[in-house]
Amino acid sequence: MRSYAQSIALYERTKKSLAGGVSSNVRYAATPVPLFFVRGEGARLYDVDGNVHIDYVLGNGPAILGHAPQPVIDAVARSLADGQVFAAQTPRETELSERLVRLLPGAEVVRFATSGTEAVLMAMRLARAFTGRDKILKFEGHYHGWSDQAYISARPPLNEAGPADAPVPVAGSPGMPASVLGDTVVCGWNDLDLLRQALERHKGEIAGVLMEPMMVNGGAAPPEPGYLEGARDLCREHGALFLCDEVITGFRLGLKGAQHRFGVTADLAIYAKAVAAGFPLALVAGRRDVMNTLLDKGVMHGGTYNGNVQSMSAALAALDVLQADDGAVYRDLERRGTRLMQGLAELAARHKVPARVQGAPAIFQVHFTAGPAPRNYRDAVACDRDRALAFHRLLQEEGIRVNQQAKFFLSTAHDDAIIDETLAAADKVMAQL
């Protein structure tokens, strides 16, 4: 058994000065306590107890190039002497925005922010200002940040969520005012009939339909064929904006994200995480006429750290790597991720563990179920949660770090030798399961 004595002691010490002992509630979900790490390099993390972990959490997605990628570190190091924040523009913002407009589907203009949560709020505000409507339609199991306006029905208990064909909005946290629920319509995902019915029930009220183009947080479920195109067309029919939350999928499912992968273009798209390979950066990209409400209608968006020198430098360096040789790093990432997905599915079958591995090679999840792979949130929560937790704990003892949902993020640093090591560890774990 691995020792976590130093992490346990440091967690107890930290709780005396840091609320809850962590800086994000998501970090509570660790075994045996929130672990403390001293260093990350490539695909590995090193904790205070000297344990080495092959990391498939990757900061919940940002570290697309692995931890401390040298080209990004070098670019940021060079930028440090230039300053950090000026409350003014820098030429790096111009260069990055021009590159993103050339690259991203439907991106006529972009606006930078610092976190995915605030970029989602910006997109929602833009949609409301542009349409003159108040309501946002979102989907069960889709996570769009922890704000009052967005943290609704992200992981609702099914005994509170209402019927599957007409879910009720469920606040995700104490302290959220009931008033925000009235501005939110919730729908089941991956079913065009349900979306059509929800839009008809709220005809003329929906400013925007907000979704993860692949449901990552609620179960790594891809869209059904034709679903995204159908959702876009329903938005147009009802005068609502189609909003894609690519905070996770952007720059992870490919250089141009999920919209390009699945062949659909949103009116506005939100990006964060992988865009700066670990440095804090988010953005909203999309139609010029919608984005111009920032100027034409005086829609407020601000942020002291928006466009800061280091994040701009990191993103430019990351794009250099990701775009090199027409995105060659993605071809390797797809190949290795596919091999890992197939290997895990074969191990589960060999050891007679009922499991489905689904998602995309750069982000997928192992669902412990004898039934079909989940296609929406309610399918996902019906899977065996206890077995997923056991899988997480047993893998950690073998030096493999995944989250408690048994979700895998891959980076370009996960080479073939690391995939081999991961599958060897998973073989032992599946035998125990």
User: How does strand 135-139 pair with strand 206-211?
Assistant: parallel
Q: How far apart are CA 317 and CA 311, in angstroms?
A: 10
- Given 4, 11, 56, 143, which residue is catalytic? 143
Neighbours of 331 (CB within 10 A): 11
Residue 281, both tokens:
């950066």
Q: How far apart are CA 77 and CA 82, in angstroms?
A: 10
Q: Which of 136, 242, 240, 194 is nearest to 376 (CA)?
A: 194
Is 352 a residue of the active site? no
Is 138 a residue of the active site? no
Is 305 a residue of the active site? no
| Residue partners of 255: CB distance under 8 A and separation at least 6 | 103, 322, 323, 327, 330
Alpha carbon 366 to chain centroid distance? 17
Q: How far apart are CA 219 and CA 231, in angstroms?
A: 20
CA angle 134, 140, 141 (to 5 degrees): 125
- Given 135, 273, 330, 407, which residue is catalytic? 273
- Given 47, 55, 191, 245, which residue is catalytic? 245
Which secondary-structure segment (H or E) carries 428? helix 416-432
* 3-class secondary structure, 221: strand
Q: Which of 156, 275, 147, 169 is nearest to 217 (CA)?
A: 156
State in Å, rounded, how far the first CA of the chain is from the last one: 17
| Residue partners of 340: CB distance under 8 A and separation at least 6 | 361, 408, 410, 414, 419, 422, 423
What is the spatial order of strands in the sheet that 400-401 belongs to? 37-41, 44-47, 52-55, 400-401
> What is each CA distance from 300 to 120, 124, 147, 151, 264, in whole angstroms?
14, 12, 17, 21, 29
* Cross-strand pairs, 67: 42
The residues annotated with a catalytic role in the active site are 143, 245, 273
